[in-house]
Structure 1
Amino acid sequence: MRYPLFPLAVILAAILNNGSYSYIQVFVGRGFDLISAPGWSATALLMLALGIIGSAIGQGITGLVRNYAIEFLAQRIERDARDELYVSLLGKSQTFHSRQRIGDIMARATNDVRMLNLMFSPGLMLITDSLMAIVVPVALIGQLRFELLLVPSIFIVLLAVTIADYNRRLKPVSMARREQFGAMNAGLAEAIAGIEVVKANAQERYEWDKFTQNARLFRDYFVRQGEIQARYWPMLVFSLAWAGGLLHAMLLWGAGSISLGQVVTFMGLMGTLRFPTFISIFSFNLVQLGVASAERILELINTETELDENETGIARPIRGEVVFENVHFGYDAQPVLKNISFTARPGETVAIVGHTGSGKTTLTQLINRIFDVNRGRVLVDGVDVRDWNLESLRSQISTIEQDVFLFSRTLAENIAFGCADADWEAIEQAAREAQAHEFITSFGDGYHTEVGERGVTLSGGQRQRIAIARAFLTNPRILILDDSTSAIDSATEDQIQRAMRRISSQRTT
C-alpha cells in the first residue's frame, strides 16, 4: 500500500469520533441518575456538562482529521489510477487499440476513475464510520449492562444479513450500469467524430435513435438499482430493534435491575445506530459502483500489451539498413503478408507498390514495431527489431502518412512533436523545407496558431505539409512515406519532392 498511514488515521479518527459522540449519551444518562438522587451536587452536574462539551469538541476535531485523511487518500488514489491507466494505454500495442472503442476508453479513464474517488470518499469513509458507530456504542452498552446486549446483538445479525443480500443483488446491476455507460459514451464519441459522414448521408435520425436506445438502457439500470434499494429493509429492522430495546430496558428498569439513567444512556446509544443503518444504502451503493469501475480499469491495465518494449535492448544510432526475411503477418486469423523478403540499404529509396488493401501500410508498420511479425524477421542494421530498445528504434524512424493526425496545439508544437528540444530556428527551417512556412505566416498568430482537434482548421494539403515538416525536423535515419503528398497540388509537390530528395540521400526511404 502506497499510503499506509492514512487508512490507519481514518480508522483511529473514526473510533475516537464515535467514542466522543457515544460518551455524550453516557454523560446524559449519568446526569439523569445524578438529579434523581437526593442531595445532588450542582458541581457534579457542571462537570457532566463540561464532559459533554469536551466530547463535542473531540468529535469535531476527530471528524476533521478523519475527513482530511480519507479525502487525501481518495484524491491520491484517483490520481495514481489515472496515471497508471494512461501509462498503460500508451504502452499497449496497436492491435489492442484497434479493438477498443475510444468512447469506452474515455469513459473508463474519466468517469470510472472518478468513481474510485467517490468509493473512498464518501463511500468507504461512511462504511468505516458506520462500523465504528456500531462497534463503539455496542461496546459501551456491554459495559453498561450485559443483559442489554440482547436486542443490539440480534439487530447486528439481521443488519449484516440484509446488507450482504443487498450487495449480492446490487453488484451485477452496478457492473452492467458502468458497462452501459461506456457503450453509450462510445456511441456518442463515434457519432461526433464522424459528424461529417452522418450529415452527408442524412443519418442524424438513425444516430439519434441509436443513442436514445443506449440512454434508455442506461436509465433502465438506474431503475433496477432503485428497485433494489426500495426493497432495502435495514431501516425497518432498526425501528423494530429500537422498539424492542426500549421494551427490554423498561422491563429491566421496572424490575429494578437498571437505573433510569442507564435506560436513558441505553436508548441514546441505541439511537446512534440509526446513522449507520440509514447511510448504508448510500455508502454500499458507492462502493459497488467503485468496485465495478475498478474492475473495468484493471481490465484495461491487465490486458496483455502483445508488444515487448525491450527496455534493456540495443540502443544506439542506426545506419538505416532494413531487411525483411520471409515475413508473414496477419490480423487475428486473417493473413495480410506472406513470405515477404527484400533489402533497403542506407541512402536507398525503395517503393512498395500494390493494390488497395494489399498490406503496404502494414508492411511499413512492421519496421517501427507498430505491429510484430507472426513469422520471419524484420532487421534494422542486421538486428531483429524486437532486439532493439523500442524507444531508441522509433526515435530514429519517421513516418508521414496519408491520413495526417495533428494535435489540438499550436503549429509550432505540432512540428516539434517528435523533437521537443528543437529551437525556433530549426522549427522554421523544417517548415520552409516542407513548403509550409508561407501558409503558416499567413495566419494572424503565425506559428502560434491553434490548429483545432485533429487539425480541423487546416486543409488536407496543409496538414500533410505540417507532418512533412515534423519528419524533416526529427532528422530520421529511416523515412517512411505512405502516400504523403496525395493532397498537395503538383507545383507544391515538386518543391517538396526536391527537399525530400535532399534529406533522403543519406537515409533509407
Structure 2
Amino acid sequence: MTANSLDLNPRTLGTQPGKREFSVTDEYQYNRSGAARWIISHLLRYKPYLFTFLTAALATNILFSALPRLTGLAFDEVLKPTPSAQRLLWLALSALTIVVLRGFIDLTNSFSVETLGQRTERDARQELYISLLGKSQTFHNRQRVGDIMARASNDIRQLNPMMNPGVSLITESIMAIIAPMIFISTINPQLLLAPVLFVIVYIFALRRYVRQLNPVAARQRMQFGELNAGLNESISGIEVVKSMAQEEQERQKFVRNATQFRDAFVEQGEIQARYLPLLLLGFAMTIAFAHALWLYSQGQLSIGEIVGYMGLMGVLRFPAFISIFTFSLVQMGLAGAERILELMRQETEIDENRGGYAAPMRGDLRFDNVTFQLGEGADAGTVLHNITFHAAPGETVAIVGQTGSGKSTLTKLVNRTYDVNEGSVSIDGVDLREWNMESL
C-alpha cells in the first residue's frame, strides 16, 4: 500500500472530517489523533457501561482482598485459649457474603466490559466502512484489496479481545495491586516494604516488556495484511497466473509472506518467555515472609496477621501472571487500530461539496480543453488530452475509439468518479466541481 497523500494531522474529538464523497448526517465524531485516543473516544461514547465496569472492577478486588484479612482474623481467634464461636461464625458468614456478593458484581463487570468490546468493534467497523465509501476512485485504485480486507476484518476484530479480556484484566490487575496495599496498611504499615518494592520493579519490568512487544505486534498486523493482499491478488488473477505459468513464483511469494508472518509470532513468544514479573513476585514473597517473621519475633505481629498478610501478597500473583498475555492483546489491538486509522486518515481527492450547487438538470454538457491523467508523478499516464465537445439537452453524441482510448473515462468524468487535471467539465453552465455531489 502506498502512503501517498497520507494526512497525519491530528483530528480531535468533534472535528469535521476532511474531503470525502459520502457522509452520514448524524455520524458520531471520534478522536483520530492516535490509536489509544481513538479507542478511548469510542469507549467514552458509552460512559454508563464504562463507569459500571470500573466501579465493579474496584469493588470485586476490594472484596477479594478482604478474604485473606478475614482468614487472618479467624486464625487469631482460633489460637486464643478460649475461641469465641460467635465471632468465628460471624467471620464465616462474612466470608460467605463476600463470595456471593463478588459473584453478582463479577456478572455485572463481565456484562459491561463485553458490551463495551462488542460495541467498540461494531462502531469501528461502521466508521471504517463509511470512510471507505467516502474515498474517491483514485484512492481505491491505489489500494490492494486484500490489505483493505485484512484491515476491515481482522484488524477491527482485534479491538474486541483487546477490550475483553485485554483491557478488562489489566484494569482488574491495577485494582488487584491497590486493594491489597490498602488492607496491608491496616495490618501494619511496615509490611508495605516488600509489596511496594515489588510494584516498583514490576512497573519497570512491564514497561520494558511492552516496549519490546510493541514493534512485534505492529509487524504481525502488517505481515498479515501483506499475506492477505498477496493471496487475494493471486486468486483474483489466477487466469493470468496460469496463462503465464507463474504458479511456482506465486507459491514462493506466499511461502515468503507466511514465513515472515510466522517469524513475528515466534519473536513474540521469545519476548514472552523472558517475562520477569513472576520471578520477581517469588523474590517479593520470600522477602515479605522473612520481614513478617522478623516483626513477629519483635512482638509487632500475630500469627493471624502473618497469615492474612501472606494471603494479601498472594493476591499480587494475579497481576504478575495475567500481564504476560493481556498486554500482548492490547498491543495487537493498538497495532490494528493504527492500521485502521492510517487508512481512514488518507485524504480523498474529491469532496462531496455539501453546500454546493443543486438544481434540476437540463442536461447541457460541455467539455472544454479537458486533459486527464491516471496515476501520480512519474507513473502518471495521459488518458485524455485537450478534449472539447458540447452535447445539448436531448442530443445524442456518439463516441468512437479503440479499446483503451478513453471512452469510458469520459463518462467517469461526468459523474466525478475522477476529476480533470486541466480544463473543465460543466453541466448547465456550472462546473462539475461546483455541484453538490449527491445532486450530481
TM class by shorter chain equals 0.7 to 0.9
The yes-or-no answer on 1:175 pairing with 2:218 is: yes
Aligned-pair CA distance for 1:179: 0.4
Q: Which moved more, 1:383-392 or 1:294-303?
A: 383-392
Equivalent-residue separation in structure 2 for 1:162 and 1:306 (angstroms): 46
Equivalent-residue separation in structure 1 for 2:244 and 2:329 (angstroms): 42
SS of 1:392's equivalent in the other structure is coil
- The correspondence of residues 61-460 of structure 1 with structure 2, limited to 5 A, is 61-330=104-373, 331-333=375-377, 334-336=380-382, 337-393=384-440
Residue by residue, what CA displacement relative to the aligned partner does 1:238-284 show, whole Å, maximum 9, x if unpaired? 11111111111111111111111110111000001001110101100
- Equivalent residue for 2:8? none
SS of 1:329's equivalent in the other structure is strand
Equivalent-residue separation in structure 1 for 2:139 and 2:296 (angstroms): 71
Aligned-pair CA distance for 1:141: 0.8
- Equivalent residue for 1:412? none
Of 17, 23, 27, the residue aligned with 2:60 is: 17
Of 45, 48, 61, the residue aligned with 1:2 is: 45
Residue by residue, what CA displacement relative to the aligned partner does 1:450-478 show, whole Å, maximum 9, x if unpaired? xxxxxxxxxxxxxxxxxxxxxxxxxxxxx
SS of 1:51's equivalent in the other structure is helix
Q: Which moved more, 1:221-230 or 1:335-344?
A: 335-344
Equivalent-residue separation in structure 2 for 1:66 and 1:305 (angstroms): 42
Equivalent-residue separation in structure 2 for 1:159 and 1:359 (angstroms): 65
Residue by residue, what CA displacement relative to the aligned partner does 1:337-377 show, whole Å, maximum 9, x if unpaired? 33322211122222334455443332321111111122322
Residue by residue, what CA displacement relative to the aligned partner does 1:373-406 show, whole Å, maximum 9, x if unpaired? 223221011111122221221xxxxxxxxxxxxx
Aligned-pair CA distance for 1:168: 0.7
SS of 1:3's equivalent in the other structure is helix
- The correspondence of residues 25-36 of structure 1 with structure 2, limited to 5 A, is 25-36=68-79
SS of 2:167's equivalent in the other structure is helix
Aligned-pair CA distance for 1:335: 4.9
Residue by residue, what CA displacement relative to the aligned partner does 1:217-256 show, whole Å, maximum 9, x if unpaired? 0000001111111111111001111111111111111111
Query: Number of matched residues?
Result: 393
Structure 1 residue runs without a partner (length 5+): 394-509
Equivalent-residue separation in structure 2 for 1:48 and 1:92 (angstroms): 65
Where relative contact order (Cα < 8 A, 6+ residues apart) is larger, the structure is: 2
Q: Which amino acid aligns with 1:231?
A: R
- Scaled by the length of structure 2, the TM-score of the pair is 0.87
Residue by residue, what CA displacement relative to the aligned partner does 1:174-232 show, whole Å, maximum 9, x if unpaired? 10110000000011111111223323333322222211111000000001111111111
Identity across matched positions, percent:
53
Aligned-pair CA distance for 1:302: 1.3
SS of 1:7's equivalent in the other structure is helix
Equivalent-residue separation in structure 2 for 1:363 and 1:254 (angstroms): 93
Equivalent-residue separation in structure 2 for 1:275 and 1:335 (angstroms): 61
- Give the RMSD, CA atoms, in angstroms: 1.4
SS of 1:341's equivalent in the other structure is strand
Equivalent-residue separation in structure 2 for 1:274 and 1:69 (angstroms): 25
Aligned-pair CA distance for 1:139: 1.4
- Equivalent residue for 1:42? 85
SS of 2:46's equivalent in the other structure is coil
Q: Which moved more, 1:107-116 or 1:201-210?
A: 201-210
Equivalent-residue separation in structure 2 for 1:376 and 1:4 (angstroms): 52
Residue by residue, what CA displacement relative to the aligned partner does 1:55-98 show, whole Å, maximum 9, x if unpaired? 11121111111111000001000000000101111110011101
Q: Which amino acid aligns with 2:408?
A: T
Equivalent-residue separation in structure 2 for 1:58 and 1:253 (angstroms): 34
Structure 2 residue runs without a partner (length 5+): 1-43
Residue by residue, what CA displacement relative to the aligned partner does 1:308-336 show, whole Å, maximum 9, x if unpaired? 01123233331222111222322313252
Residue by residue, what CA displacement relative to the aligned partner does 1:83-123 show, whole Å, maximum 9, x if unpaired? 01011111100111011000010000110010011110110
- Equivalent residue for 2:40? none
Distance of aligned partners of 1:281 and 1:259 in 2 relative to their CA distance in 1, 3 Å threshold: same
Q: Which amino acid aligns with 2:348?
A: T
Equivalent-residue separation in structure 2 for 1:194 and 1:262 (angstroms): 72
Q: Which moved more, 1:321-330 or 1:128-137?
A: 321-330
Equivalent-residue separation in structure 1 for 2:85 and 2:221 (angstroms): 61
Equivalent-residue separation in structure 2 for 1:175 and 1:68 (angstroms): 30
